[in-house]
Amino acid sequence: MPLDDEARRILRLNDKGSYTVPTAGLYPYQWNWDSAFAALGFASFDVGRAWVELETLFSGQWANGMVPHILFHRDDPGYFPGPGIWGTEGVAGKGEGRVASSGISQPPVAASLAWRIYGCDPALGLPRLRALFPRLMAFHRWFVAARAESGAVATTHPWETGRDNSPDWDAPLAANDPVGVAPYTRRDTGHVNARMRPTKEDYDRYIWLVQFGRARGWDDAAIAVESPFRMADPTLTFILLRACRDLGAAADVLGEDRAEIDGWIAHLEAGAETLWNPETGAYDSRNLRTGALSGSVSNASFLCWWAGLTDPRPIPTLRRILGAAPFAVPSFDPEHPKFDTLRYWRGPVWAVMNTMIGLGMEEQGLGPQAARIKADTARLISENGFAEYFDPVNGTPAGGGTFTWTAAVWLAWASPSAGEG
Ligand code: GLC
């Protein structure tokens, strides 16, 4: 079908040989979770290329197990903040890794998507999965040790959650005065409409947190104790929980011991419960400095089923949100005063989140709701193109265009020709 052809064209367009950029201009490097989704998209027509994508991502893994949120393979002056700002060269945790990178991670969806890609061609995939397995273990081990002290997975920077400017982070960011931020020039607003991007107040605080981590040599223990920003996050928690289940399945196939993985699963399941907010009827983020829940109903709230939780409690809230948004799933509650149809993670629909939400709901017996989410995603893409994200009220495409992960999940899930259900 023509849209499948267009999606493959976009993946090839953004393919730099061994890794894929999210979109030219706005995001000219390799991003962690974007790349894992790119691999899933490639797997629908070139399984070998899919494995190369994951292998390149893990070539940037730090000695301590962390897989950075951005790998700066080739310098590009059109992006800020680039490698010079992160200052990760020579930091202890990084070890001898030669790929320039940021100092934080991103939602660890890699094991889940590696497991799916293995399923596309087990004969080809078995040696690749075997080679990647210890690296995936090290990545998860790092996340649990460095971030999961409360059971749920905490973040030290909004960018680590993948939901950069979600209202979840407003209170802890506002509580921190970004004193001493060195002068900088944003590049993102030179590529797309500023109305669709985070505000300057938010941006100053993002850069302040980068400087804070850099000043501590990206030392996880120091940052965990000293940073004013430590938020337990449903995106990271649910995605890691699911990734541990998938890594456990991989361990079974590879004949590896899975006791450590089972320990992580139990730890994260208990942690997930600390994110339940009875007042909103949804999973929420929690400020580990104050103990306060954010009061947010976001699209991350509905990743609970992707995480494998059999939990009916969020269903009434899910119904309310589906009823309030012409296009599902809005990244923030349409009935909340902070809802903003175009501003990034404060309202717009993101196709990758829909994919995980929809697949998880299908597995947990929420078939009709999952079908609605898939149909909305397919309509948004077929009527408005492969945009970075979409207005949940009228479908307006927003952010960057010719976007890799939107094309990838079209091929893997939303297209009528996709293998999944
Ligand atoms: C934005 C998104 C993040 C994504 C990146 C590259 O920062 O918030 O989730 O990984 O763009 O597409």
Which numbered atom of ligand 1 lies nearest the CA of 404?
A: 12
Angle, helices 110-120/47-59, rounded to nearest 10 degrees? 150
Distance 162 CA to ligand 1 centre (A): 6
- Name which residue sits closest to atom 9 of ligand 1, judged by CA: 162
pTM: 0.98
Distance 182 CA to ligand 1 centre (A): 23
Distance 355 CA to ligand 1 centre (A): 16
Is the CB of residue 388 less than 8 Å from the CB of residue 398? yes
Q: Give the SS3 label for residue 373.
A: helix
Which numbered atom of ligand 1 lies nearest the CA of 344?
A: 8
Mutate to test the pocket of ligand 1, among 20, 32, 34 (most ligand atoms within 8 A of CB): 34
> Long-range contacts: 330-338, Cβ < 8 Å, 24+?
330/299, 330/392, 331/163, 331/166, 331/298, 331/299, 331/389, 331/392, 332/166, 332/167, 332/296, 332/297, 332/298, 332/299, 333/296, 333/297, 333/298, 334/392, 334/393, 336/167, 336/296, 336/297, 338/167, 338/170
Which numbered atom of ligand 1 lies nearest the CA of 32?
A: 10
| Cα 45 from Cα 408, distance rounded (Å) | 11
Neighbours of 119 (CB within 10 A): 12
Strand order in the sheet with 286-287: 154-155, 231-232, 286-287
Q: In the chain, where are the structural domains located?
A: 2-414
DSSP 312-349: -TTHHHHHHHHHH-SSS-BSB-TTSTT--SSSTTSS-B
Mutate to test the pocket of ligand 1, among 164, 168, 236, 356 (most ligand atoms within 8 A of CB): 164
| Cα 61 from Cα 50, distance rounded (Å) | 18
pLDDT (tens, 9 = 90+) of the chain, 421 residues, equals 799 999 999 999 999 999 999 999 999 999 999 999 999 999 999 999 999 999 999 999 999 999 999 999 999 999 999 999 999 999 999 998 789 999 999 999 999 999 999 999 999 999 999 999 999 999 999 999 999 999 999 999 999 999 999 999 999 999 999 999 989 999 999 999 999 999 999 999 999 999 999 999 999 999 999 999 999 999 999 999 999 999 999 999 999 999 999 999 999 999 999 999 999 999 999 999 999 999 999 999 999 999 999 999 999 999 999 999 999 999 999 999 999 999 999 999 999 999 999 999 999 999 999 999 999 999 999 999 999 999 999 999 999 999 999 999 999 999 999 974 3
Distance 100 CA to ligand 1 centre (A): 18
The arrangement of secondary structure in 2-414, i.e. its CATH architecture, is Alpha/alpha barrel (1.50)
Is the CB of residue 375 less than 8 Å from the CB of residue 322? no
Is the CB of residue 360 less than 8 Å from the CB of residue 305? yes
Mutate to test the pocket of ligand 1, among 27, 155, 405 (most ligand atoms within 8 A of CB): 27
**Taken in order 404, 162, 83, 60, is the CA torsion positive or negative?**
negative
Distance 315 CA to ligand 1 centre (A): 28
Catalytic site residues?
Answer: 164, 388
Q: What pLDDT sits at residue 98?
A: 83
Please give all residues whose beta carbon lies within 6 A of any atom in ligand 1, as ranges.
22, 27, 31, 33-34, 162, 164
Q: What pLDDT sits at residue 418?
A: 96
Which numbered atom of ligand 1 lies nearest the CA of 403?
A: 12
